[in-house]
Chain A
Amino acid sequence: MRLYTTSALPLVLGGALGLGAGAAAAADLEFYFPVGVNAPAVATIDELTSEWAAQNPEHTIKPVYAGNYEETTTKALTAAAAGNPPQVAVLLAIDIFTLVEEDVIVAISDIATTPEDEAWMDSFFPGFMKDARFEGKTYAIPFQRSTPVFYYNKDAFRAAGLDPEDPPETWDEMIEMGKKLTVKDANGNVTQWGTRIPNLGLAGAWMFGGLVVSKGDVLSADSGTEVSIDSPASIASLEFLLELAEEEVMAPGGISWGDTPKAFLEGQAASIWTSTGNLAFINENADFDWGVGFLPGGDGPGAPAGGGNLYVFKDATDEERAAAIDFMKFMTSPENAARWSIATGYVAPRPDAWELPIMQEYVAELPQARVALEQLPYAEREFATFQRAKVTQFLVEAIESVVTGDADPAAAVEAAQEKADDVLGDYR
């Protein structure tokens, strides 16, 4: 029974080892991480951090599981306010503006300045770096990144007389094929819907961002102070969601994120739009032939990037910062990015990881995993602004009021735009 942790112990231990190692300055890192996908992800994090610690005996690292994304951000901000932040944390990519505004993180490009460091920061997919940068500086390193893809039931495609190797690529095709995929019983009740796009809550806003990208627009700008919620692309995307319900391709009303993979596995939806984070789960549980394709697009392919990045906190000493950079390099090395990707379904954020034998083997076994990589060039940043929680809520309300039939698209987005401009005006 231990009521008090002896937090001094690792410090003393680390100090002693540091002395033994000689020149290298010792640092004790705390690393906050959330769990967004399956529970075994925690074990992989523990494995990776202890490997780093074994390779760098002068340093210590303590991985701290901090709940889901939101809770991890709350915990990190609370600790930072008390002057006790972690040195490194995995937080949502879209939280960059909040973290900059709270002045708790340090620009990585300010502390990692050697040519070697720069090469490291350039080694990631540009699609994942867009939301890691702000005002010309790099504030984050991609780590657990995901993007939604189109999962479809090939058996259902065959039953509907569709080519199982040719999933819909455009919205029109989605509606046309979806009509054939919707199955009703003798009483006229739908037993299988053509598709399922989550449209409620934050996940709904994330998916919606992808629709807008495919119509050639992005919901928020790199500055974090401009949004274009009331664009024609936005209205067209909402109309597409309504049309899916009208044509009986998709269930009318609100559609939740959490139940979507289940609906797919149980045959209630012939196709779903959801994160690559579900690959492993669906692969394990599907008892039918399934495939993955690009998200069908309005004017072309388009998807939102999502997930979490690694941040370095400001309150760290120079030694801690150097150790933090070294730790992040280790976590995002091609080998470890590949391991993390295979264990979780996150998209390995750098091209060279995909060339490794273990990754090649994984893709050969699960070719569906490759689709996210191919779709990546068409991915844009997720909706992110200053005062993100508040501003995103305006967008969420607009989408929800339209899909539940309480408002028409043009009016809803106009109201959301106005409210967002009100809040963001102070930041321009």
Chain B
Amino acid sequence: MTADMSRGLNRIALSTVALVLAAVWGLPFLYSVWTAFHPEKFSANFQWNAPLTLANFAEAWQAAPFALYFLNTLILITIVLVANLILCTLVAYAFVRYRFRWAGLLFSLVMVQLLISPEILIVENYNTLNTIGMIDTIVGITLPYLTSAFGIFLLRQTFLTVPKSLDEAAQIEGAGAWRVLWTVYVPLAKPVYLAYGLVSISFHWNNFLWPLIVTNSPEVRPVTVGLSVFATVESGVEWSLVNAATLMTTAPLIVAFLIFQRQFVANFMRAGIK
């Protein structure tokens, strides 16, 4: 067997594995698309000529004030993302660039937070919000998430890879600390910002229990709370309705990913080639 042949075989094997994995991930999505566009009767009955319908979407849309919920989610993730980007950048920058007393201890304290799941803190956070009168507000939902240990960690590690000489060169040119951060560190960390942004947005888009608990009014609730109306436990699950609602609420995320995906991948490529 020649090397060429075995390489060809390898490629075939790899492609097969990739295809199978893609199918495993893609099938549930395809299934939800199928059920969302067909009447409930066809939700497990795949006939190519089953009648298509948009009725599920119409019914789901009317079951909860989704337009309002979308707006709330949008405000929510914008606040969180902007606050995260600013705060995490500043903290990470301080950890990388300045030597100060207890720096190691402080950083490990930040790291320890990664071990605590936010659900454990719900009662304590609720208490705090209640004391300062911010229950049932969008800002209240975002408050515990304004900074992120994961974001700090990620950016610190990225900033550490920035060559010291670049930093020094900028200083020689007369750039102050802010200027160095803005012209040297931030541009070099762009792919990481993109990746972090996607992770953060999808996490907060999907967050459910905390917003459910700290909000009471439809005026401030996010889409996930609207979606949960369809998770009817006691009666049977109406898959076509559930999936129509799910597609509807995740569509903006999917679209955003498709748009940013090219840039996302391209950025990683550039970072790798360098």
Contacts and interface: CB of A to CB of B under 8 A. Distances in A.
Nearest to B140: A4
A281 B234 contact: no
Contact of B137 (A3, A261, A275): A3
Nearest to B59: A39
A68 interface: yes
Interface stretch (A69-77, A153-161, A364-372, A420-428): A69-77
Nearest to A68: B233
B232 A285 contact: no
A84 B225 CA distance: 21
A258 B220 CA distance: 31
Given A74-B213, A285-B40, A39 B137 contact: no
Interface string A62-85: 101111110100110011011110
Interface in A142-187: 146
A75 to B, nearest CB: 5
A42 B63 contact: yes
B234 A42 contact: no
B238 interface: yes
Contacts of B63: 39-40, 42
B260 to A, nearest CB: 25
B220 A261 contact: no
Given A278-B236, A280-B235, A345-B235, A75 B212 contact: yes
Contact of A67 (B130, B212, B238): B212
B216 A62 contact: yes
B265 interface: no
Given A37-B234, A38-B235, A275-B234, A5 B136 contact: yes
B223 to A, nearest CB: 14
Contacts of B236: 258-262, 274, 278, 281-282
Nearest to B134: A4
A228 B207 CA distance: 40
B94 interface: no
Contact of B232 (A39, A71, A307): A39
A287 B219 CA distance: 41
Contacts, number: 115
B253 to A, nearest CB: 21
Given A64-B216, A258-B236, A83 B130 contact: yes
Contacts of A67: 209, 212, 225, 228
A81 B127 contact: yes
A84 B132 CA distance: 13
Range for the number of chain A residues in contact with chain B: 35 or more
B139 A4 contact: yes
Given A3-B137, A40-B63, A146 B234 contact: yes
Contacts of B123: 78, 81-82
B237 interface: yes
B138 interface: yes
Chain B contact-residue range equals 35 or more
Contacts of B137: 3-5
B235 A275 contact: yes
A78 B213 contact: yes
A307 B209 CA distance: 22
Interface string B99-129: 0000000000000000000000011001100
A5 B217 contact: yes
B179 to A, nearest CB: 33
A262 B135 CA distance: 40
Interface in A1-35: 1-5, 7, 30, 35
Contact of B139 (A3, A258, A261): A3
Contacts of B43: 262
A35 B209 contact: no
Contact of A5 (B44, B220, B228, B237): B220
Q: Among the interface residues B41, B219, B235, which one has the most CB atoms of the partner chain A within 10 A?
A: B235
Contacts of A83: 130
A232 B212 CA distance: 43
A345 B41 CA distance: 21
**Which of B212, B219, B236, B238 counts the most chain A CB atoms within 10 A?**
B236
B229 interface: yes
A277 B64 CA distance: 21
B201 interface: no
B75 interface: yes
A74 B130 CA distance: 16
A66 to B, nearest CB: 7
Contact of A82 (B130, B230, B238, B239): B130
Contacts of B239: 262
B47 interface: no
B213 A75 contact: yes
A66 B212 contact: yes
A258 B219 contact: no
B135 A266 contact: no
A84 B229 contact: no
A36 interface: yes
A282 B41 CA distance: 11
23 contacts: A1-B75, A3-B138, A5-B136, A30-B216, A39-B229, A42-B63, A62-B216, A62-B217, A66-B212, A67-B212, A74-B209, A75-B212, A75-B213, A81-B127, A83-B130, A261-B235, A262-B239, A266-B45, A275-B234, A281-B238, A282-B236, A285-B41, A287-B41
Given A1-B75, A5-B136, 13 more contacts: A36-B235, A39-B64, A39-B241, A62-B217, A67-B225, A68-B228, A68-B233, A78-B213, A79-B126, A81-B126, A82-B123, A82-B126, A262-B43
Interface of A: 1-5, 7, 30, 35-40, 42, 62, 64-69, 71, 74-75, 78-79, 81-84, 146, 257-262, 266, 274-275, 277-278, 280-282, 285, 287, 307, 345
Interface of B: 40-41, 43-45, 63-64, 71, 75, 122-123, 126-127, 130, 135-139, 209, 212-213, 216-217, 219-220, 225, 228-239, 241
The 10 closest A-B pairs by CB, nearest first: A261-B236, A36-B234, A277-B234, A82-B130, A39-B63, A64-B216, A277-B235, A37-B235, A82-B127, A75-B213
